[in-house]
Amino acid sequence: MQQSDVLTPERTRTASPFDTPKTKHDASGSAARVIPIVPLSHSEAEVARQMQICNACRYCEGFCAVFPAMARRLEFGKADVNYLANLCHNCGACYHACQYAPPHEFAVNVPKAMAQVRLETYTEYAFPAALGALYKRNGLTLSVALATGLALFLMLGLALRSGLSAHATSANFYAIFPHNLLAAMFGTVFLFAMLALGVGVTRFWRDVAAGTSSVSMPAAAEAAKHALTLKYLDGGHGDGCNESDDAFTLARRRFHHLTFYGFLLCFAATAVATLYHYAFGWEAPYPYLSVPVLLGTVGGIGLLVGPAGLWWLNLRRDPERTDVRQRPMDRGFIALLLLTSVSGLALLAFRATPAMPSLLATHLGIVMALFATLPYGKFAHGIFRSAALLKSSIEKRQGRSLGLGSE
Ligand code: SF4
Ligand code: SF4
């Protein structure tokens, strides 16, 4: 197949049930289904080329959701490629199994090609796009600089107001930063993050969901299960991913789970503390064995071990299988998660000492930087991936009803 076949802007062909159909009439008046094809970027054209080869081979059909989704298509337009790229979990199984991988002349390297497209989608769908582009280029530097800047700003404000050790030994955080001030600061950043994420995923869904039937409960439940269990990090056989070599490991799945559920527990700790404050009038500090402190401690440990493991794996990952341009984003997000847990646990340990106000300002600055950058880093990619899993679950059922079979 010639690459020009893939890049032709618009032409007539046999449509797949998953295409967005448009009807045109030729000179004789007969109807033909025309698929408008948006010109592909170089990375997208490379995924389309490799998918044509894989579609003829299909050796990796049982590895993950990408290959069954690929098999439902005859050609790969921009929306198909973006969808498949975000469905790929970069587990590496297909690269290590592939008889057409480099040095073969077909040069099939699906994880790398998908990673290159994913990086483009992060900027393309980001809101505002300029922030997405900045984070893509300088994710690590931007994350650390933002966290440091916000922490210093809060410390300066504190020093000017009452000094860095005032009210220190009472372990009362709200004597340092009033609760309403914290709620206003974090509420603003949180709403911005939710808005930016919402716009990004809406843009993504609008592009990739064309031709997909509406969401059903079984499809939504299956997609949620696959997202929450990270099913496709099991390599398709349950033994896990390939990281630096042919050996399988479940380490990436485990570290992702520790990170994700650690993050959720920390979020739950904040939610319970807010409930205590507003609904019951119970003011912090809470005892070590109280619900918010226990949730925060267990979550903080998960958020320490998980990101530390992900950083270690990121350093070891075979560069041939990934897009190395993605590293600043990956490491920026992991660094902020690590700094959040380290500063949070340090704050808990030293909350009744003169170091508390400085530790509190540092922790708050880091958490604000984390929330402000959520829409541009790996967190956004988790949201896009969940949307892609939902489309996959819908398509699977749609394929069955059309008698096309399924995985
Ligand atoms: S990755 Fe290689 S082995 Fe797997 S389906 Fe594609 S061409 Fe075949
Ligand atoms: S790298 Fe893993 S998740 Fe991605 S296409 Fe290959 S087998 Fe599927």
**pLDDT tens sequence across 64-122:** 999 999 999 988 999 999 999 999 999 999 999 999 999 999 999 999 999 999 988 88
Q: How far is the CA of 96 from the centre of ligand 1 (A)?
A: 10
185 lines ligand 1 (CB under 6 A): no
User: How many separate domains does the chain show?
Assistant: 2
pLDDT at 10 over 70: no
Same domain, 155 and 93: no
Q: How confident is the model at residue 169 (pLDDT cuts 50, 70, 90)?
A: low
**Residue 324 belongs to domain spanning:** 126-394
Q: How far is the CA of 344 from the centre of ligand 2 (A)?
A: 35
Most confident of the ranges 30-44, 90-104, 316-330:
90-104
Q: How confident is the model at residue 42 (pLDDT cuts 50, 70, 90)?
A: very high
Residue 342: predicted pLDDT = 95
Same domain, 305 and 328: yes
State the average pLDDT over residues 152-172: 71
Same domain, 139 and 233: yes
Given a contact cutoff of 8 angstroms between Cβ atoms, the answer to whether 6 and 48 are in contact is yes
> Rounded to whole angstroms, how far apart are CA atoms 2 and 105?
15
Please check whether residue 404 lies inside any domain of the structure: no
| Closest by CA position to 263, among listed 332, 338, 327 | 338
Same domain, 343 and 278: yes
Same domain, 161 and 23: no
Residues in contact with ligand 2 (CB, 6 Å cut-off): 60, 63-64, 66, 88-94, 110-111, 114, 232
pLDDT at 35 over 70: no
Residue 20: predicted pLDDT = 44
What is the identity of the amino acid at 96? H
For 117-139, the pLDDT digits (tens) are 998 888 888 888 888 777 777 77
Question: Which of 64, 243, 320 most suits a substitution to test ligand 2, by most atoms within 8 Å of the C-beta?
Answer: 64
| pTM assigned to the model | 0.81
Q: How far is the CA of 199 from the centre of ligand 2 (A)?
A: 27
Same domain, 168 and 288: yes
State the average pLDDT over residues 8-24: 42
> Rounded to whole angstroms, how far apart are CA atoms 145 and 88?
31
Question: Which of 59, 61, 109, 232 most suits a substitution to test ligand 2, by most atoms within 8 Å of the C-beta?
Answer: 232
> Rounded to whole angstroms, how far apart are CA atoms 384 and 379?
9
Q: Given 123, 138, 168, which residue is the final one in a domain? A: 123
